[in-house]
Amino acid sequence: MQQATVFDYIVVGAGSAGAVVASRLSESGAFRVLLLEAGSHGSDFFWSRVPVGVSKMIDDPQVNWCYRSEPDEGSGGRQIEVPRGKMLGGSSSINGMVFIRGQAQDYDHWAQLGNRGWSYQDVLPIFKRMERYDSGSDEYRGRGGILRVTDTPRHKVPLLEMIIEAANNIGLPFNPDQNGQSQEGIGMSQVTIARGRRQSTAFCYLDPARGRKNLLIEQSAMAEALVLDGKRCVGVRYTVNGSPREARARREVIVCGGAINSPSCWNSPE
């Protein structure tokens, strides 16, 4: 094993969260940041660039972990596909690109449980700062962010028109902006697509940061274990194409492996 290299921050996973975290941490130039990604592809992967390519990546092990759920009674004994991105941008590079915020009531409930800083009014400025959306209310929508958000073109699709009309008939109002003041009603989805291209976090956050000398992005880097000093995580052991490596962090190790891979990483510390 090579001698451990030392960084200020190590980010494990370059997905929807990790790409943003690494970009922001390296922005000032004051800190050395290592970003580890198990996948080998980035925003230049053809099917990720093209929105229609989502159907090509649903079962492609090059860019998808291809997880499946355990069979249970609720699914009729079936295993359900659980796609998770395995490339720069993570699941933001393979998903359906629908852009919708969490329910305001959920954030407020978290705050009521004692989680300061998590009410909807607390997180709303973050939502606004991240996005660039050209419509809706200035009170709720961001104009100058990195993530480009657009409306789904309202082509006259007879089935969709009938669904919206039926919803109106039972009292559900048409809502042109479900990320605005009200989240109730029926409407067309907003999407992370601009000028015919997917707006993944790899494209929006990592590609502009690639030239920074203080940011090292390692792909085909499989995290094997967290290195602990007592109860403090001080580093990561990982392999790149089978070659063992180790990196240490002066400040923090930030695990951004996603809802499935982050817990598995913590379950096998050394």
Residues 9 and 91 in one domain: yes
Q: What is the pLDDT along the chain (270 residues), one digit of tens a residue?
A: 567 899 999 999 999 999 999 999 999 999 999 999 999 999 999 999 999 999 999 999 999 999 999 999 998 999 999 999 999 999 999 999 999 999 999 999 999 999 999 999 999 999 999 999 999 999 999 999 999 999 987 667 899 989 999 999 999 999 999 999 999 999 999 999 999 999 999 999 999 999 999 999 999 999 999 999 999 999 999 999 889 999 999 999 999 999 999 888 766 555
| Strand ranges, E, within 105-161 | 131-132, 147-148, 150-151
Q: Smallest Cα–Cα separation from 6: which of 34, 28, 26, 30? A: 34
Q: What is the count of structural domains for the chain?
A: 2
**Rounded Cα–Cα distance for residues 238 and 121 (Å):** 39
Q: In this structure, is residue 187 part of a structural domain?
A: yes
Contacts of 84 (CB under 8 A, 6+ apart): 64, 65, 67, 90, 91, 258, 260, 261
Residues 73 and 115 in one domain: no
User: What is the three-class DSSP state of 254?
Assistant: strand
Q: In this structure, is residue 196 part of a structural domain?
A: no
Task: Provide the CATH number for the domain around residue 213.
Answer: 3.50.50.60
Residues 154 and 219 in one domain: no
Residues 48 and 131 in one domain: no
Q: Smallest Cα–Cα separation from 35: which of 16, 17, 10? A: 10
What's the domain range around 60?
5-96+201-266
CB atoms within 10 A of CB 91: 20
Indicate whether this model's pTM tops 0.85: yes
